[in-house]
């Protein structure tokens, strides 16, 4: 919005300098690089599984493939989120990133169930594990590869405000720990405890379910427009720095993928001009930008002190028509 002092309507919508294209490109780059790294790691492990028959390594490899596959819907979501809003999707396509989380959750659960099934089957039908040092090497490769991917995803996710990318990075970190479990299983087999292999497979399956539980809570929270309460506190703190704002009566915030949007109702002196009210709203916008780097858009309603709050913006409901109300009077 320009700095010209033209009168504006009661509702002010301020489009913030949109970093969405840059952040989406960073997200796409992070997804692509991590996808290639995980596929390479999983393929190498799969070859070793074929030679060794390790069920713990198979579970770990399966999880790595699943982790790589989850990058696909996230990539699609990042690509589509760069499209401009349309009359049908007036908020844009940012919500696709949250919907991709459902696909990620389904893949995680599927890999957990398959890992547990294979581990139980190995309990019932034991098979020797050969080339245990090759299994150990594969576990080490998986641990290092996943940890590198985890650090990269978490760093980029925090940089652009993408909870989905951060969660995927945390998922990769759990994968690194499961690869460490493969090493523990190898030590058990080497020490003369052959059932260590399926036991570790079961442990890995349980850890995957734990990841699925935490991921599910995050995904459904976003779909229900859940936000960290500290964001609301930060908005109130930012608005408190603006002279002329008597009260912040309403705050609504939601994430659309890695983009944060907010709606505010501020109360100002009823005697000031529309022009002055607009200037106050612009200063509120400036403060929000300084306090919330992930903020993509803010709609600021300026209310006079004589009519503050959201209740003055509500349209009369349909439960009672004006004619019926007049008859009662």
Give the integer Cα–Cα distance in Å for 281 and 265: 10
Q: Is 193 left (phi over 0), alpha (psi -120 to 50) or beta?
A: beta
Tokens 């399926």 correspond to what residue?
198
CA atoms within 13 A on the CB side of 114: 14
Q: For residue 63, what are its two tokens?
A: 């999880």
Give the integer Cα–Cα distance in Å for 210 and 112: 10
Q: Vertex 102, ends 33 and 198: CA angle to 5°?
A: 75
Return all residues near 156 (Cβ < 8 A) that are at least 6 apart.
26, 27, 29, 30, 162, 165
Q: Is 313 left (phi over 0), alpha (psi -120 to 50) or beta?
A: alpha
Nearest-CA neighbor of 313 among 10, 8, 46?
A: 10
- Please give the pLDDT value at position 324: 44
Nearest-CA neighbor of 305 among 254, 271, 269?
A: 269
Nearest-CA neighbor of 153 among 218, 71, 59, 86?
A: 71
- Please give the pLDDT value at position 308: 66
Neighbours of 133 (CB within 10 A): 10
- Please give the pLDDT value at position 315: 56
CATH match of 228-314 with 3.30.70.1350: yes
Q: What is the dihedral of CA 62, 81, 26, 67, to 10 degrees?
A: -10
- Residues 36, 177 contacting (CB under 8 angstroms): no
* Domain definitions of the chain by residue range: 20-223, 228-314
Q: What is the pTM of this model?
A: 0.68
- The tens place of each residue's pLDDT in the chain, 329 residues long, gives 434 333 333 444 333 334 455 567 778 888 888 888 888 888 888 888 887 777 767 777 877 787 787 788 888 888 887 788 888 988 888 888 888 878 878 877 877 787 788 778 877 877 666 677 777 887 788 888 888 888 988 888 888 777 778 777 877 877 787 777 777 777 887 787 777 777 877 887 887 788 788 878 888 888 888 888 888 999 999 998 889 888 888 899 998 877 888 889 988 988 888 889 899 999 998 889 888 877 888 888 888 887 666 665 555 554 444 444 444 44
Q: Which CATH number applies to 20-223?
A: 1.20.1510.10
Q: Is 244 left (phi over 0), alpha (psi -120 to 50) or beta?
A: left
- Please give the pLDDT value at position 166: 78
């Amino acid at each position: 919005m320009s700095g010209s002092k033209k009168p504006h309507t009661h509702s002010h919508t301020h489009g913030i300098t949109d970093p969405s294209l840059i952040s989406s490109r960073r997200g796409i780059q992070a997804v692509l690089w991590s996808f290639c790294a995980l596929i390479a790691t999983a393929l190498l492990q799969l070859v070793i599984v074929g030679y060794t028959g390790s069920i713990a390594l198979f579970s770990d490899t399966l999880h790595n493939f699943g982790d790589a596959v989850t990058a696909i819907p996230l990539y699609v979501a990042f690509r589509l989120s760069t499209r401009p809003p349309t009359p049908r999707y007036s908020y844009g396509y940012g919500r696709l990133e949250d919907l991709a989380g459902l696909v990620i959750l389904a893949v995680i659960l599927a890999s957990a169930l398959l890992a547990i099934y294979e581990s139980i089957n190995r309990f019932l039908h034991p098979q020797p594990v050969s080339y245990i040092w090759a299994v150990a090497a594969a576990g080490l490769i998986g641990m290092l590869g996943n940890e590198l991917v985890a650090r990269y995803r978490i760093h980029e996710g925090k940089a652009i405000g993408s909870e989905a990318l951060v969660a995927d990075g945390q998922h990769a970190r759990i994968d690194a720990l499961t690869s460490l479990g493969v090493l523990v299983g190898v030590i058990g087999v080497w020490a003369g405890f052959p059932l260590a292999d399926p036991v570790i497979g079961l442990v890995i399956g349980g850890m995957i379910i734990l990841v699925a539980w935490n991921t599910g809570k995050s995904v459904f929270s976003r779909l229900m427009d859940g936000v960290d309460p500290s964001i609301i506190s930060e908005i109130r703190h930012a608005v408190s720095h603006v002279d002329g704002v008597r009260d912040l009566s309403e705050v609504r915030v939601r994430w659309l993928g890695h983009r944060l949007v907010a709606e505010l109702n501020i109360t100002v002196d009823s005697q000031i001009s529309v022009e002055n009210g607009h200037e106050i709203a612009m200063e509120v916008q400036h403060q929000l930008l300084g306090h919330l780097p992930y903020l993509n858009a803010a709609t600021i309603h300026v209310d006079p002190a004589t009519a503050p709050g959201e209740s003055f913006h509500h349209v009369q409901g349909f439960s009672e028509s004006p004619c019926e109300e007049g008859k009662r009077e």
